[in-house]
Amino acid sequence: MTVEAAISICALVTILGMVLAGLSMVIDQLRCADAARAAARLLARGDSSLAADAVRTLAPSRARMVVRYELGGVLVTVLTDAGSGLLPVVELHAEAYATIEPGQGREAPTKERARAPA
Can you tell me the distance from the alpha carbon of 66 to that of 47, in angstroms, rounded to the nearest whole number? 15
Can you tell me the distance from the alpha carbon of 78 to that of 73, in angstroms, rounded to the nearest whole number? 17
pLDDT tens for the 118 residues of the chain, in order? 789 899 999 999 989 988 888 898 899 999 999 999 999 999 999 888 899 999 999 999 889 999 999 888 999 999 998 866 556 678 899 999 999 988 765 544 444 555 556 5
pLDDT on residue 105: 58
Can you tell me the distance from the alpha carbon of 91 to that of 89, in angstroms, rounded to the nearest whole number? 7
